[in-house]
Chains A and B, each alone.
Chain A
Amino acid sequence: GAGVSQTPSNKVTEKGKYVELRCDPISGHTALYWYRQSLGQGPEFLIYFQGTGAADDSGLPNDRFFAVRPEGSVSTLKIQRTERGDSAVYLCASSAGTLVSYNEQFFGPGTRLTVL
C-alpha cells in the first residue's frame, strides 16, 4: 500500500505569512508524529497524536505552531506569522501503535518550507 504522503513537497512563503502543511498517514495508523529537520541537524520532535488528540505537543517551539488531526487520519501543521528561522524540512511519520510496543514509525518524504 501507499506510504505516508505529505503535501506540498515544497513551499516558499514570505515572512509573516500563514502556511499549512498536510500529512496523510498510512491507512489504519493511529499514531502520527511531526518532526522538523533544519539544515545539518537530525529531525526534532514537534508533536504526537494518538487518534484525534495531541498526546504530546512539548516540541512545538511557540504558539505560532499548531497542529490538528480532526478525524484521526489526516493531519495539518499550521504555522502563523512565519519567520525565516522556520525554514526547514517538516517530516511526518505514522505508526500502528506505540514505539515501546515495537511499532515502527514510517516517515513521509517531507515538506521543504522556505521563508523568504
Chain B
Amino acid sequence: AQRVTQPEKLLSVFKGAPVELKCNYSYSGSPELFWYVQYSRQRLQLLLRHISRESIKGFTADLNKGETSFHLKKPFAQEEDSAMYYCALAYFGNEKLTFGTGTRLTIIP
C-alpha cells in the first residue's frame, strides 16, 4: 500500500531564510505527488503538483524517484508562508489522495 511520510511535525524558519519541507513516499509504480497548504482559518488548498512543474508563491518541488522524495523548497521565506503543509500521493486508476501527517511551518519575523 502507498504511504507518505513527513518527518517534521513542526518547522520554524527565520524570514528570508531558505525553507525545505521534507516528504518521502512509498509506492512501487509511478505516483502523482502534490503539496497542499492550509492557512490559518482557511480550507485546504492545492499548492502545487509535480506534473505541472510550476513554481507557486515561490515554492518548487522536484520528484526524486531514486530517493522517493518530493521535498518542498523556497529560497527566501516570507511571513505569509506560515501554514500547515501536507504532502499527498495519488496514482493512475486510483482517485484517492493519500496524505502525510503534515508539517506546521512557522516563519519567525
Contact = CB atoms under 8 A, between A and B. Distances in A.
Interface of A: 3-4, 31, 33, 35, 40-45, 48, 55-56, 58-59, 91, 98-100, 102, 104-110
Interface stretch (B11-19, B38-46, B72-80): B38-46
Nearest to B6: A42
Contact of A99 (B4, B86, B95): B95
B46 A105 contact: yes
A98 B97 CA distance: 11
B56 interface: no
B96 interface: yes
Interface in B43-65: 43-46, 49, 51-52
Q: From DSSP, what is the main secondary structure of chain B's interface residues? A: strand
Contacts of A106: 45
Contacts, number: 58
Contacts of B90: 99-100
A105 B4 CA distance: 18
B96 A33 contact: yes
B97 A100 contact: no
A44 B92 contact: no
Given A42-B86, A42-B101, A42-B102, A33 B45 contact: no
A43 B101 contact: no
A84 B32 CA distance: 34
B99 interface: yes
Interface in B25-47: 32, 43-46
B98 interface: yes
A40 B100 CA distance: 10
B92 A59 contact: no
Given A42-B88, A42-B99, A105-B46, 17 more contacts: A3-B43, A33-B96, A35-B97, A42-B4, A42-B86, A45-B97, A45-B98, A48-B95, A56-B95, A99-B32, A99-B95, A99-B97, A100-B91, A100-B92, A102-B51, A102-B52, A110-B43
